Amino acid sequence: MPNRRHARRTHRDAAKLAAAGNHQGALAIYAHAEGEFRGCLAVHPEDRGTRSDFAELLADLAVSHAAVGEVAEAYAAQRERVTITAGLQTGTVERAAARLDLAEAAVGAGRLLTAATEADAALGLLDDVDPADPGSPGFTTLADAIARAARVFARAADPDLAVGAADQAARMLIAARQAAPGGFGAEGIGLDGTAVLLRDSLRLAAALHAGAGRAGHARGASDLLTRHFPGVSPPSAPIPLTLRAALETAMRMGAFFDPGLIERLCPDPAGREAPVTVSARCDPGLAAVALHTVEPAVEALASTHPNLAWRIATEVHYLLTAADRLGERNLHLNFRDHGPAWLAMLMALTATGKQGPILGDLAAALAELCERLRTRHAAAEHEPLVVAAHRFITAYGDPRR
């Protein structure tokens, strides 16, 4: 008979091995604890205590999987953990942390669509915190979350969004340190978890500003990096493909025709009001407008300029997902009009020749969209686009999802 107490004890034994650096040994013992917990839940599926304990196990299991390079397994464990945590209706801070952990695991596994949407959703859970008051409850928690999201956005989303988040995180983390007893000085600060996030935010901000040609902003971030972390340098400056650059290029090529939309979708990433979340870049009501404007451009560019198509389509997909999460009225009420265009935009990406785990992530996004189209009676199962989407999902989808 499965025993929760035994499962918890086995979990603790595995965690001790992991803490000592023996992740491979820990995984073998975690497997026993996992089996025990699953057995308990098979008998009492709604037991909150067991579900909470199992979520903690999955978090530790994911860390050990990642430590030995098993990124797909780490991603799967974090995804199951988020599902369980959401069902427990835990506090927003705990749910945000779980979603950020999933976002980071998704980056490691190459599941970039999931990474960006989960990081954005995590920040949305903390939107009641005042980002301008270092003394407000949750200020440092929010600063840490923005810094983690910035790292995710740098890999999975618009670099302009990443640099806005990195700048904001750095400002908040420095303010939090200065407000703390003792503060910190020019001699640098110890590398606890928050200090690592500050260091990474400054390095990211310096690199992205430099890559975009904003020399003054890059120099400012580099100076702060040197002041607080002597001897640490920013990475080499990338040449980022931002949403603004992708849309402007598409316009020069005759595939996009609305310069006004660019200004509405792409605020100044170096300004004090630079957005740090997908939903903050514009009014959520603009998501559906952007979809119908860019969808023909994505289809036109998919086979000839795949990087442009991916940048435009994924950013609008992130915006639609955020608007949907916020309950944007037009998107919900008129889904019969917007849903098929959303599906067509994502399906265009299947013609870009991309390879690797991102195709599994695209299949997952298509599967969720097809299911929603079905339940909303927005598209018939026999329609060619839906049929093609199901073929792609069958070929690349993850049966464990």
Structure tokens at 119: 């990081």
- pLDDT at residue 365 tops 90: yes
Q: What is the pLDDT, as a whole number, of residue 182? A: 57
What is the spatial distance between Cα 174 and Cα 204, in angstroms, rounded to a whole number? Answer: 15
- Residue burial 244-263, b: 16+ Cβ < 10 Å; e: rest: bbbbebbbeeebbebeebbe
Q: What is the pLDDT, as a whole number, of residue 187? A: 43
Higher pLDDT, 184 or 350: 350
Which tens digits make up the pLDDT trace of 100-115?
999 999 999 999 999 9
Q: What is the pLDDT, as a whole number, of residue 188? A: 46
188 DSSP assignment: B
- pLDDT at residue 36 tops 70: yes
Q: What is the pLDDT, as a whole number, of residue 273? A: 87
Sign of CA dihedral 347, 349, 353, 359: negative
- pLDDT at residue 185 tops 60: no
Is 380:386 a contact under the CB 8 Å cutoff? yes
Q: What is the pLDDT, as a whole number, of residue 180? A: 74
Is 269:163 a contact under the CB 8 Å cutoff? yes
Which tens digits make up the pLDDT trace of 316-359?
999 999 999 999 999 999 999 999 999 999 999 999 999 999 99
**Closest by alpha carbon to 199, among 157, 168, 156, 233?**
233
Q: What is the pLDDT, as a whole number, of residue 238? A: 82
Model confidence at 184, in pLDDT bands (50, 70, 90)? low
Which tens digits make up the pLDDT trace of 243-290?
999 999 999 999 999 999 999 999 999 988 899 999 899 999 999 999
pLDDT, mean of residues 121-148:
94
Model confidence at 163, in pLDDT bands (50, 70, 90)? very high
What is the spatial distance between Cα 357 and Cα 275, in angstroms, rounded to a whole number? Answer: 28
The pair phi, psi for residue 135, each rounded to 5°, is -90, -5
